[in-house]
Structure 1
Amino acid sequence: MIKGDSLMFRGRLRGTALWGGSLLLAGCMLNIFLQAASLGMKFGAVADWVARYPALYLAGSLFLFFLLLLFAALVPGGYPGPLLAVAVVVLLGTADNRKLATTGEPLFPWDLMLLKNAGEMRHITRGMLSPLWIAIAAALIVLLLYGMRKLPKVRMRLTWRLLLGGVSAALAGGFLFVVGSGSSLASSLHYENLYWNQKVNYTQNGFLFAFAGNLHQNVMEKPDGYSREAILRIAAKYGGNGSEAANPAPTGGTQAEQDAKMPDILFMMDEAFFDPTRLPGYSFSADPLVFIHGAAKSSPSGYLLSPEFGGNTANVEFEALTGLSMYFLNDGSVPFQQRLVKMSSLPSIVSILKQRGYAALALHPFDDTFYNRNRVYPMLGFDRFTSEKDLPKAARMTPGGYISDLAAVQEAVRELRASKGPAFLHLVTMQNHFPFTSGKNGPNTIAVSGGKEAYRKELETYAQDTKLTDEALAELAKELKELPRRTVAVFWGDHLPALSAGIYAEAGWDAKPRLKHETKLMLLANFDIGAEGTGTLSPAFLGPEVFRRAGLAEPPFYQLLDRVKAELPGLSGSVRIGSGGNEIRKLTPEQEALLSDYRLVEYDLLEGKQYSAKLMF
């Protein structure tokens, strides 16, 4: 009997050891997979990374091991819980790899906030996953299901599960704390939080350390010299007087006479729009932008220097609405999701115009919760937000496709007509979102020659998209002439499209960051705003630009932006453009001083005490 008990005990011990060893091995393999995902699935590069940073690799693998143990404690049976955890980690790695392939950026913790939009995400990411990735995912699901049924059960008493779960949670949580706090222990493992260059952050530190470090990341670091006195000095320099409204609405005359001095303003930020005819090596059977190219001769036109490429639309509208620049923010930041959603107010073009009696309207023909717009827009001061759910009858180019730019323009014009006084309307379109599969917006009518055949087909679809946008803009220009109120419309593309990387490589644009960040910018109006070109502007300067052309008094903050714009009209992490239109590598002392003022005010508004909110707006 004793012998039998001894054999049973040794059998259980071997089974437990096998179980624990398999989880440890799984943690090591998962860490390799995550790093491979960040390195383009190049396992040779992964081996080099492991050899160079063995402590980071081992610490990350141990974290995954304890994560698997935690799931084992939460889900009875020993193996089902860890298998579920494996599935989650593989999904994270896949998302990281696909995001890198399409936008050039890794997966950030705040990206997971989009999980609440899972249905819409499936729609807009259609085509991102290749058949190989889909087959791998399907095979993993089958293996998981098979493993849950066939692997031997590991029975643990409740007390042991509670103990195992507590210890595992404490150790996994300790890892997150050590990485996030920047402790000496993390430094001893050769971890360095490279938040200013997130792509290097992930490739050097590994996915786990970089992702965990970003859990504690602010959007902006505190600049030297920040204080109330510093903000008072800056405000005085640019005309701030500390009043609640530095530039109130016009006074005198009837309300109608006052309203007439304040034109309606329409912002139209067009999804993934740029001029495809700029790409060298490709020819188009017809000009997709007939109206835009023609109107550029008589309307203010130029380029917008987008802070993004291929995605992160919300960062472009963050700049356009607030006048704050992504240039000063930590690499990879998404202020809408990380900061603005936590704030009660933030000065912007919306609040400036509302002080003067404007109605503030937002229009986005898609899910209102994307990038937390349903929470951010009211915080910025918008009176009404019209989204896809409010437009059940809006036209789409194809069944199940996005609401067309033409339908969005028609709705914007309808809302401007219905306004009883001056209105500011911010429109964000969706028609041109990837994927660029043939027939996405109906039959392609423009043929493309040059380059590889696969790229030509993709460009033909994209050229068709831009043609439809061009026609929508022509309709807007026509409608502007018939509007009863003076109206100025500012049209721009938010970023270049996430076309196949080979298209930009063939064009030689990989070595030309400016071209990969310049989208089309145009101003249209039904009154004289001049015809002088805009040059290349950052989105943060659109507010001052339209105020100047529309004859509106500028608040002190816009006067600061005007000074910066005069020296550095294009300001992004990828490229800086000077007043002459050329790229600038070294800043002058005067430019450094201007950017220091700008940075201090931006920090004050986003992370500081908001002293400037009353002084400069």
Structure 2
Amino acid sequence: MHLNLKPRSRLRKKPNKKMRPQRLGATISLVLFLILLPVLSVAGMELLERGSLHDTMSWITSNQSLFLLNAGITFCLLIFIYALVGSLAISGAISTLLLGLMALISYMKVTMIGEPFFPWDILLNKESMDIASLVTGKAALIRIGAIIVSIIVVLALRWIIPRTTISIISRVGLGLFSLYALYAFGIKTPLAGKILDHIGVNEIVWNQQENYANNGTALAFTLNVKNSIVQKPETYSDVAIGAVAANIESVSQAQTQPAMKKASVDTLQGKKPNVIFIMSEAFWDPTLLSNVTFSEDPLPTIHRLQKESTSGYLLSPQFGGGTSNVEFEVLTGNSMSFLPGGSIPYQQYVSKPVPSLASYFAGQGYKSMGIHSYEGWFWDRNSVYKQLGFESFKSSEHFVNPETKGYFISDAEVSRNIIDEVDKTEDPMFIYTVTMQNHGPYDDPRYGENQFKAEGNLTPQAKTILETYTQGAHDADQSLQMLIDHYQNSDEPTMIVFYGDHLPMLGLDYQVYKEAGFISTSNANAWSLDEVKKMHSIPLVTWSNFDMPKQDIPLLSDSFLGAHVLDMLHMEKPANFTLNAELAAQVPGLLSNLVVDQDQTLHAEAPESAKTLIDDYRNVQYDLLFGKQYLAGYIDHDYLTKASQPSYNAEFDQPDSKLRAEGDSGSPPEAKPVSAQ
């Protein structure tokens, strides 16, 4: 056998000159695709979120540098995906999908609660799906359709654009370059900072809706990455915290009132009172709408308590959503004002034991329990409540055959569970309750025929929304009355603190508030300070079956409520709550965009006289959440460093419900599943 082997070099073909134009055309197509797709993606994102072609084009023409910077960020995303996937059309489709979803979610969030889509929202998991299920309507469906069509068009280019391939080394290089560029703008490296300053980027962290509107969705989202990490205050140090601790000790000594404490104990015959906080979902007083009247009073209990007991208004950091942020303020005494706009402390910052009212009352011999008539995973409460020092957390999974009303477990069922838990517990109880019945949306008359008819200059849709909400608010009012009726005749001293978490979202774009004349415009950025105050003020009422002096509370931030309640009970306040009370005396209302002083004067920023104390408050908050726990080295060490309870939720985690029943510690966890509809 004879093999004629020729060198491979002799078999090589000479370069075909006809192939050169094809390669040139492919290269041009590649470059055009990589340039045009990011440009069109940015334009599409802004159109999806702004909802107006005129507004979108106006922003592009007025902010060409910002527009190109947004395109540059989406270009880096496209290149990074291309480096991973290797197919131009598929990479384009994936980037189009991601950017489209970002714009869609941001649009839905702004429409619902006035906040855009943040990087940390990615961690919401089930919460995001739950929120998405509450958004319906033509506008949302059109946007979803536009995204789907765009993805199909980009995929179709696979059969039009000449196929090009680059080496693995080149792909790795492109991927690393794009990843670094995204990282640089995300954490704002010095070079990225110079670019941003040169272009004139103005990051408005305290007003994220305006931040996104001015800078563009892609850029604003990227710039918020660094806000996931809270920056250390410039004044934070061991020495500064030591000075705060000394001030707290002097204030505590001056405020000690042994005579009042003794009188309180004598009145209760030595018993410690049960302390029950009830944060009623979206509870507000619809009769405050001045241009609307109702067929009858929907809140007779609330209105009676406002005349008879300590009552007033709380200043909530939220509107329409973000319930867990209000819990965070009330339970810890910390303020959302010092955290990035749109952040969720429960999911971002509470990963270790944090001192709270729950841990404080536990240290006073109380059983601290959280009760929520929704699923325990929501806002990570299952794990967060452990870190806050609760002994147990009764979520909807542990309600037995609960009564539902509308979409969720009824407020009346929650009241029955409160009574049941107190009755079967020998120790005094601190209970933090969060209800769910009157969660939005309200456009569907889910309670059937509404008892309360609204009259005013309202569209039929707004009227339906308001009447449905008001029916639910009435049920919350009556659930409070149920508790009062029970404890009125009880020999267990009990105090109830009842309030809402935020104003309800009554229609898209503040529809009911606008039609009722409660606000002048649906543009939150144009609200006056008085309108900001109104849209964040929540009714607060208290009740007790033992004598307590009546107090009027014109306005008090949620973060100061705990200190106020401890004062009402004549209980010695721990260090951080002592500081809260001192600040509240000067600045009772504190939001990122509104400060209310002791004379109820409204300010856009803190007055000079209060800035030093506010800095102390910020430093202590940073020390407790992120810092080196300097404060615990000076004062209240045991409270400030208290670990979570080792037996957390043991009573509800028993695999055998009979064991739990025999232990007389509650009902077996066989609750019916509850989901948002």
| TM-score using structure 1 length | 0.88
Question: Which residue in 2 is equivalent to 1:320?
Answer: 330
Q: 2:610 aligns with which of 581, 591, 606?
A: 591
Kept in 2, the 8 Å contact 1:571–1:577? The answer is yes
Kept in 2, the 8 Å contact 1:70–1:165? The answer is no
Kept in 2, the 8 Å contact 1:363–1:427? The answer is yes
Opposite residue 184 of structure 2, the aligned amino acid is: F
Per-residue deviation at 1:262? 2.5
Opposite residue 362 of structure 2, the aligned amino acid is: K
What secondary structure does 1:283 align onto? strand
Q: 1:235 aligns with which of 245, 255, 259?
A: 245
CA 1:168–1:51 in structure 2 vs 1: closer, same or farther (change >3 Å)? farther
Kept in 2, the 8 Å contact 1:488–1:525? The answer is yes
CA deviation vs aligned residue, 1:112-133 (integer Å, no higher than 9, x gap):
211244553344xx2x232232
CA 1:145–1:259 in structure 2 vs 1: closer, same or farther (change >3 Å)? farther
Per-residue deviation at 1:484? 4.6
Question: Which residue in 2 is equivalent to 1:422?
Answer: 428
The answer to whether 1:276 aligns with 2:295 is: no
Kept in 2, the 8 Å contact 1:307–1:574? The answer is no
Q: Which moved more, 1:517-526 or 1:260-269?
A: 260-269
CA 1:386–1:49 in structure 2 vs 1: closer, same or farther (change >3 Å)? same
Per-residue deviation at 1:152? 1.0
Q: Which moved more, 1:463-472 or 1:542-551?
A: 542-551
CA 1:392–1:293 in structure 2 vs 1: closer, same or farther (change >3 Å)? same
The answer to whether 1:448 aligns with 2:459 is: no
The answer to whether 1:479 aligns with 2:486 is: yes
Question: Which residue in 2 is equivalent to 1:402?
Answer: 408
Measure, in 1, the Cα distance between the counterparts of 2:87 and 2:609: 67
The answer to whether 1:380 aligns with 2:388 is: yes
The answer to whether 1:115 aligns with 2:125 is: yes
Q: Which moved more, 1:485-494 or 1:132-141?
A: 132-141
Measure, in 2, the Cα distance between the counterparts of 1:264 and 1:162: 68
Question: Which residue in 2 is equivalent to 1:606?
Answer: 625
Question: Which residue in 1 is equivalent to 2:3?
Answer: none
Kept in 1, the 8 Å contact 2:274–2:494? The answer is yes
Q: Which structure: larger Rg?
A: 2
CA deviation vs aligned residue, 1:14-67 (integer Å, no higher than 9, x gap):
2453354234312111112333445x3233333343334333322321332332
| Correspondence list, 1:58-137, <5 A | 58-75=68-85, 77-123=87-133, 126=134, 128-137=135-144
Kept in 1, the 8 Å contact 2:29–2:162? The answer is no
Q: 1:211 aligns with which of 218, 221, 228?
A: 221
| Correspondence list, 1:275-424, <5 A | 275-341=285-351, 344-391=352-399, 393-398=401-406, 401-424=407-430
Taking only the aligned residue pairs, the percentage that are identical comes to 30
CA 1:112–1:392 in structure 2 vs 1: closer, same or farther (change >3 Å)? farther
The answer to whether 1:466 aligns with 2:485 is: no
CA deviation vs aligned residue, 1:302-348 (integer Å, no higher than 9, x gap):
1111111122212111110011122333333322222223xx22211
Opposite residue 45 of structure 2, the aligned amino acid is: L
Kept in 2, the 8 Å contact 1:63–1:172? The answer is no
The answer to whether 1:551 aligns with 2:570 is: yes
What secondary structure does 1:536 align onto? strand
Kept in 2, the 8 Å contact 1:446–1:464? The answer is yes
The answer to whether 1:529 aligns with 2:560 is: no
Q: Which runs of 4+ in 1 moved over 6 A?
A: 1-4, 153-159
Question: Which residue in 2 is equivalent to 1:492?
Answer: 499
Per-residue deviation at 1:92? 0.7
Q: Which moved more, 1:360-369 or 1:42-51?
A: 42-51
Opposite residue 627 of structure 2, the aligned amino acid is: G
CA 1:372–1:90 in structure 2 vs 1: closer, same or farther (change >3 Å)? same
What secondary structure does 1:439 align onto? coil
Kept in 2, the 8 Å contact 1:362–1:426? The answer is yes
Kept in 2, the 8 Å contact 1:271–1:431? The answer is yes
| Correspondence list, 1:133-148, <5 A | 133-138=140-145, 140-141=147-148, 144-145=151-152, 148=155
Kept in 2, the 8 Å contact 1:259–1:421? The answer is no
Taking only aligned residues, the RMSD between alpha carbons, in angstroms, comes to: 3.2
Q: Which moved more, 1:577-586 or 1:466-475?
A: 577-586
Per-residue deviation at 1:421? 0.8
The answer to whether 1:457 aligns with 2:467 is: no
Kept in 1, the 8 Å contact 2:314–2:539? The answer is yes
Kept in 1, the 8 Å contact 2:74–2:218? The answer is no
Kept in 1, the 8 Å contact 2:281–2:501? The answer is yes
The answer to whether 1:167 aligns with 2:174 is: yes
What secondary structure does 2:446 align onto? coil
Measure, in 2, the Cα distance between the counterparts of 1:568 and 1:49: 38
Measure, in 2, the Cα distance between the counterparts of 1:581 and 1:338: 33
Q: 1:567 aligns with which of 581, 586, 605?
A: 586
CA deviation vs aligned residue, 1:180-211 (integer Å, no higher than 9, x gap):
22422333333343323323322222222221
Kept in 2, the 8 Å contact 1:99–1:105? The answer is yes
Kept in 2, the 8 Å contact 1:67–1:168? The answer is no
CA deviation vs aligned residue, 1:91-121 (integer Å, no higher than 9, x gap):
1101111211222222111112112445533
CA 1:171–1:77 in structure 2 vs 1: closer, same or farther (change >3 Å)? closer
Per-residue deviation at 1:494? 0.6
Measure, in 1, the Cα distance between the counterparts of 2:122 and 2:606: 37
Measure, in 2, the Cα distance between the counterparts of 1:591 and 1:62: 43
Kept in 1, the 8 Å contact 2:69–2:219? The answer is no
Question: Which residue in 1 is equivalent to 2:233?
Answer: 223
The answer to whether 1:504 aligns with 2:496 is: no
CA 1:169–1:387 in structure 2 vs 1: closer, same or farther (change >3 Å)? farther
CA 1:155–1:340 in structure 2 vs 1: closer, same or farther (change >3 Å)? farther
| Correspondence list, 1:18-29, <5 A | 18-29=29-40
Q: Which moved more, 1:13-22 or 1:580-589?
A: 580-589
CA deviation vs aligned residue, 1:497-555 (integer Å, no higher than 9, x gap):
11231322232424311111111111122222222223321111211221122232222
Per-residue deviation at 1:572? 1.7
Uncovered stretches (5+) of structure 1, i.e. residues with no partner: 248-256
Per-residue deviation at 1:278? 0.2
Opposite residue 572 of structure 2, the aligned amino acid is: A
Question: Which residue in 1 is equivalent to 2:198?
Answer: 188
Measure, in 2, the Cα distance between the counterparts of 1:177 and 1:144: 28
Question: Which residue in 1 is equivalent to 2:57?
Answer: 47
Per-residue deviation at 1:68? 2.5
Kept in 1, the 8 Å contact 2:106–2:116? The answer is yes
Uncovered stretches (5+) of structure 2, i.e. residues with no partner: 1-11, 258-266, 520-526, 640-677
Q: Which moved more, 1:536-545 or 1:219-228?
A: 219-228
CA deviation vs aligned residue, 1:415-474 (integer Å, no higher than 9, x gap):
222223122111111222211123223332211111222211211111111111111111
CA 1:76–1:450 in structure 2 vs 1: closer, same or farther (change >3 Å)? same
Measure, in 1, the Cα distance between the counterparts of 2:604 and 2:200: 31
